[in-house]
Structure 1
């Protein structure tokens, strides 16, 4: 049974507009918030204690798992709003709503703090595909990376499609956007080795033992189409590639990046 929350079963047009606005980069920037919906994502937010500032739910759409989740957020003192199924469907970004949607504050993190605390960082440059970005977030979390940094020409990490494809990894560690100049300044000052994925680099298999011994490193990945900017690539300490058969020209960045991170996992 769901613990009592506000009994209002409708939301205003203004509220609907603000929630829908979070689907856009401009809206997320102005509101400093993002939305996540669905059982799995909200379970991951709870597990990582990355709690929503407001949770909307439609009781008629919830499974037992969803009801349990709402109760847990209630215990965490999260602000709950029970609304009608048609209301949550009206603001949902999913094809079929699971009846639960959370609004979250975007962490206002300074790049310097991420570099100071991190030992292994993933840098995404020119990564515009939300699915690839989300998959790489999840792999980075799985294989022991401490944070993800995206250059300004990459996808917004709090884009709904990125959040969804991360399968909750977005809640597991710091994820920030910074300029290439900022990134390389901190990389140099904090003495990170810059490992660049490059089809013309050294085979990863022969270098992974050496790389594993680096006390601090940044793995840089770029899209298949755009690659890594010359500005960042020119600062590489090591360039690595993944060996594969000649039957394919290249690997998708999410696949290639995940393989590299697995190989460097200690």
Structure 2
């Protein structure tokens, strides 16, 4: 039987409050909502999981979450549907509380990365989460959120990653210029994705499958940090100038532009294929 039945209980309020950034920073914890994200958190970041909450129906439907959590010695508690709804409107009957723990840039550099996505002042949670998911799918080794980018542990970001947040290192709270300098110092070329870029991504892909590009032309086969800008205004001129080169994704139809997440996916997969 559910042991949590009062949606106004202090424990329930404490979990719900983790949707706020100030509470996450003060408590050192954050919220993970929904069966997909909680499943991946339990499987790949069990050391960060403090509590798992499910409705009785969700515990039966997603028995693998309960099994994995109990196998890892995690606290699993049943609550009524009203309790889970009070914790999160997006819970789908499953919520977890995790310790706020992110990778550092030094951690990433020590791993010898060959493909990294860098977000400069990206503020939309859905876009940031989708880029993390795309980076995971493309086999990137890390995602760096620099400047005034959104908190990657914002619940909307976490949901948008669909669990990819727990598959690869995510770095936040770093300034853009020193982060790019550190990546370049580790042997990665920095390519800015920009609609007005001097290099066409298709041309670079063609060169990567042939004898390789001429000197001074980006080589997609080489270790690369892709730099992506804000959803509304793209890369600031000063930020774009930090890159070794700017690359445009060709648009052959009548669309004015691609949104951030789509452009990032195309660029990351281009490098992924060339490196493969």
Offset of residue 242 of structure 1: 0.9
Corresponding residue for residue 147 of structure 2 = 152
Change (3 A) 1:74 1:10: farther
Offset of residue 224 of structure 1: 3.8
SS of equivalent residue, structure 2 residue 235:
coil
Q: 1:38-117, aligned counterparts within 5 Å?
A: 38-50=34-46, 52-59=49-56, 61-62=57-58, 64-94=60-90, 97-117=91-111
- The answer to whether the aligner puts 1:140 opposite 2:140 as a matched pair is no
Question: For the Cα contact (< 8 Å) 2:130–2:261, is it kept in 1?
Answer: yes
How big is each residue's C-alpha offset from its partner over 1:216-257, in whole Å with a ceiling of 9 and x where there is no partner?
221011124121233331121121111112511111111111
Q: 1:114-133, aligned counterparts within 5 Å?
A: 114-117=108-111, 118-133=113-128
- The answer to whether the aligner puts 1:189 opposite 2:185 as a matched pair is yes
Q: Detail structure 1 runs of 4+ shifted over 4 Å in the superposition.
A: 6-12
After superposition, the CA RMSD in angstroms is: 2.1
Offset of residue 68 of structure 1: 3.3
Mean Cα deviation higher: 29-38 or 45-54:
45-54
Distance 1:261 1:35 in 2: 28
Offset of residue 9 of structure 1: 4.5
SS of equivalent residue, structure 1 residue 212:
coil
Distance 1:255 1:108 in 2: 25
SS of equivalent residue, structure 1 residue 104:
strand
Distance 2:250 2:120 in 1: 22
Corresponding residue for residue 261 of structure 2 = 254
Change (3 A) 1:79 1:224: closer
Task: Name the count of aligned residue pairs.
Answer: 258
Distance 2:187 2:271 in 1: 19
- What's the TM-score, normalizing by structure 2? 0.85
Corresponding residue for residue 205 of structure 1 = 202
Change (3 A) 1:108 1:169: closer
Offset of residue 159 of structure 1: 0.9
Question: For the Cα contact (< 8 Å) 1:157–1:163, is it kept in 2?
Answer: yes
How big is each residue's C-alpha offset from its partner over 1:79-102, in whole Å with a ceiling of 9 and x where there is no partner?
1222222111111131xx422110
Corresponding residue for residue 216 of structure 2 = none
Distance 1:142 1:231 in 2: 30
How big is each residue's C-alpha offset from its partner over 1:7-57, in whole Å with a ceiling of 9 and x where there is no partner?
454577332332122111212112222111211112222332445211112
Corresponding residue for residue 165 of structure 2 = 170
Change (3 A) 1:42 1:248: same
Mean Cα deviation higher: 107-116 or 80-89:
107-116
Corresponding residue for residue 249 of structure 2 = 242
Ranges in structure 2 where 5+ consecutive residues have no aligned partner: 214-218
Distance 2:200 2:116 in 1: 21
